[in-house]
Structure 1
Amino acid sequence: MYQSYYDGSIKKAELKNSTFKKNEIKLKPAEWMSKVVNYAQIKNAGLAIWKLPQDNTIHILYDLDGGTKLDEVNLDDLEAGFILAPFQAAENPNIHFKTDIKGSFSLDLVNNSLDELIELQWEKIKSEEEDSIIKTNIESLHKRLKKTVSINSTSKKDYINTVKAGINAIKTEELYKVVPSKIKCVNIEETLDIADAYLKACAKYTDAFVSLTFSPTSGLWMGATPETLIEDKKNEYFKTVALAGTQVKTENNVIHTAWTQKEIEEQALVSRYIINCFKKIRLREYEEIGPKTIQAGSLLHLKTTYKVDTKALNFPELASVMLKLLHPTSAVCGIPKEKALEFLAEKESHNRSYFSGFIGPVRMYDQSHIFVNLRCCQFTSNKVIFYAGAGITIDSDPEKEWFETEMKCKVLEDIVFHT
């Protein structure tokens, strides 16, 4: 269970120096969101908006310098803020957002209270900054973005050929698993309400990490990911998750879900990958929970959680060490990692950018919640680019893998375009 940064689990002493401020202006949540994002675009600021799984608090963070590009990510060296990292750092930069301005508001997501008037609660803000946000016009959030001309959707033929090549590589034992991805570009033909789409994603995917980020470097991205990469509470615990296997949710109870041998093996490969990372640092004391069937919107996955008592082991830097070992995980890349990366570099014609990278708040009140950036899309002035991948094993059916990527793209596509 994830806890809000502002609930009773946080000691009062940790917040005694914080000054919370409520403005007296009340607007609908989507109107606030539009102003917040437009202000970031006008100021060329970095912006991160997010909701943790099983939490109804929407967090807002501005870096007025637009974010800092990092050659590598070392959690122990970062100040409190937010991290956005790509699939491959050689293609796009890691970006860290510091906390120049921080705010939040809460929604009753159970009752879907998106039409209620609310006030924003600011923890760090100057009066002139707050006034500027309030006075910012409510405009379509994609209109200030760059136009995309050269990016086109991955064709079904090309994706299936890549899957077949992956299966052949597995048969010859060059690979044990590989995760080819695709992109799906949808033209924007009318006014797009991205703020409203984000809030509806929060309401629909209550068990996901739902984010909306902007920077002059990365552009505007939205995501609703179910996969934890690292959860770390300083001097207490470390968690990571193996998540693999996908099928559509039916009317049956989740506990009665049946999984195929292919899906079970795919999930087992991810679990073994994590355990092998533990072995590399000679870590043998961990708790393994699962595998269990979990629901992420209309999709089901297999999930195993690994938890380490970092206080008992006196291993406070475990999160930084494991981040370097885990990313990119076998769930988004393949096994062996280097061979899978070579295969994907050769076969994928698109840049994954921040898809299948990692994302989340770091060192906020001594907690870091970092997620694999799945179920995400990128906005340009004329297109929305959806990203998805599927894990390929020796038992994969190319047609079914294509269908799985279509399902994954549909998670956000239906929300973005209100279908």
Structure 2
Amino acid sequence: MRRATPRPPQADRTSPAGTVGAATALLDAYRPGTDRFFASPTRTLLTGGVRAEVPHDERPLAQRVAHILDARRRAGAPAPLVVGAVPFDHTAPAALVVPETVRRATALREDPLIALPAPHTPVADWELRPVPAPREYAGAVAEAVRRMRAGEFDKVVLARTLELTSPREVDLPAMLQRLARRDPGGYTFALPCGPGRTLLGASPELLVSRRAGRVVANPLAGSTPRSTDLAEDVRRAAALLESAKDLHEHAVVVDAVRAALAPYCRTLEVPVRPTLVRTAAMWHLSTTVTGELADPATSALELACALHPTPAVCGTPTALAREVIGELEPFDRGLYTGMVGWGDASGDGEWVVTIRCAEAEERRLRLYAGAGVVAGSSPEAETDETEAKFRTFLHAVGADR
């Protein structure tokens, strides 16, 4: 790994808007272990080092973050922010820090250089181990469907993992390049998540953003794999828009987002029908919810905590779905299906649902993928959906060839 170059404390640099190569320069400059990278449809951030860590205690997370940002501002930092990830289990410690340095640029999708190909990834002799195995996962889906048809609950999101082991250390910068260049209009991230461990991914789903008093949430629920055949790809997209099962699943999530945001907003606009969002691997039903805050002091992170976890990553009723996940998933989700992003001292920020992600450590990767299970779900179809979602990362590491 390259040696880190010392950087001045509290440096905060923003590249001029529209500068060709400014956003991709931040992507190129990413260094594992010390840096945190976050790219969205509105901006690109690269932070370095750690000025302070957000403590883990009994106070609400948004309160802890507001306290530490206020302390940094009173200490002379002109525009302090936190960046990092929050786990699926809100009682577990978050991986949030105030960085030493912040570099900013416009969105990757606005940089013409993002169209250049990513560095070549040598073919690696990856050893793959699914946890649970596809047959066991399908059995868990069938059990969840049985219980829902018996009236126990309405929906649960069941996930599985794919563990990859390589003969050599994972090339994290190359992996990040491939993720970012494959879906430059999405949300790409890479950050330390523990000693020697890195969380990285390319999520399509905005949990919530706040800019001044404007709030935006973009829940995704209901999806289908894409096809390399154009006619079949269009057919799948059209079928998704008419699927009663997927439209119901999506409506449950949108209703939950509306209910969570309504107490914080004086106005809230929720479209009647969803539209489609596509990634390189999937079609998703999408609804963009917008609103105006009732109290300008409400931060993006406070809104994100009120929303998390949505039925799109947990289920409904939430408490019961959590119990079912604990019973049927044979692993700890950790940061998967939590949230990742940034927030500043004014309360603005962007928080993204932590999906299409992996945790990397030396020669190992653990990939995560999940599917929303409702009473009308098919175990085979949900298993196929998780396989399709794994493709984002399998492509990034050259394991899909």
Same fold, TM exceeding 0.5?
yes
Mapping of 1:8-407 within 5 angstroms? 32-33=28-29, 36-37=31-32, 40=34, 47-53=35-41, 58-64=44-50, 67-71=53-57, 72-74=60-62, 76-77=66-67, 79=69, 80-90=81-91, 92-104=92-104, 107-112=111-116, 153-216=131-194, 219-234=197-212, 236-250=213-227, 251-252=230-231, 257-259=238-240, 260-278=243-261, 281=263, 285-289=267-271, 290-310=273-293, 313-317=294-298, 319-363=300-344, 367-407=348-388
Question: In the alignment, is the contact (CA less than 8 A) between 2:13 and 2:104 conserved in 1?
Answer: no
**CA deviation profile, 1:173-219 (whole Å, cap 9, x unmatched):** 21100001111101112453221121121111122100011144582
TM-score, normalization by structure 2: 0.78
**CA deviation profile, 1:151-176 (whole Å, cap 9, x unmatched):** 96211122112111211221122110
Tell me by how many angstroms 1:248 deviates: 2.0
Task: Quote the Cα distance in structure 2 between the aligned partners of 1:321 and 1:69.
Answer: 16
Question: In the alignment, is the contact (CA less than 8 A) between 1:70 and 1:96 conserved in 2?
Answer: no
Tell me by how many angstroms 1:285 deviates: 2.6
SS of the equivalent of 1:392 reads strand
**CA deviation profile, 1:356-395 (whole Å, cap 9, x unmatched):** 0000011277630100000000112232100011000111
Question: In the alignment, is the contact (CA less than 8 A) between 1:30 and 1:196 conserved in 2?
Answer: no
Question: In the alignment, is the contact (CA less than 8 A) between 1:278 and 1:284 conserved in 2?
Answer: no
Tell me by how many angstroms 1:336 deviates: 0.1
Tell me by how many angstroms 1:417 deviates: 2.4
201-210 vs 361-370, which moves further:
361-370
Tell me by how many angstroms 1:69 deviates: 3.9
Query: How many pairs align?
Result: 349
Closer, same or farther in 2 for the Cα pair 1:245/1:412, shift >3 Å?
Answer: same
Task: Quote the Cα distance in structure 1 between the aligned partners of 2:68 and 2:281.
Answer: 36
Closer, same or farther in 2 for the Cα pair 1:308/1:186, shift >3 Å?
Answer: same
**CA deviation profile, 1:214-242 (whole Å, cap 9, x unmatched):** 144582111100111110012x2111122
Alpha-carbon RMSD: 3.0
SS of the equivalent of 1:317 reads coil
Tell me by how many angstroms 1:254 deviates: 5.7
Q: Counterpart of 1:142? A: none
Task: Quote the Cα distance in structure 2 between the aligned partners of 1:225 and 1:188.
Answer: 24
Closer, same or farther in 2 for the Cα pair 1:367/1:218, shift >3 Å?
Answer: farther
Task: Quote the Cα distance in structure 2 between the aligned partners of 1:399 and 1:172.
Answer: 20
Tell me by how many angstroms 1:32 deviates: 4.9
Q: What percentage of residue pairs aligned between the two structures are identical? A: 20
Tell me by how many angstroms 1:329 deviates: 1.0
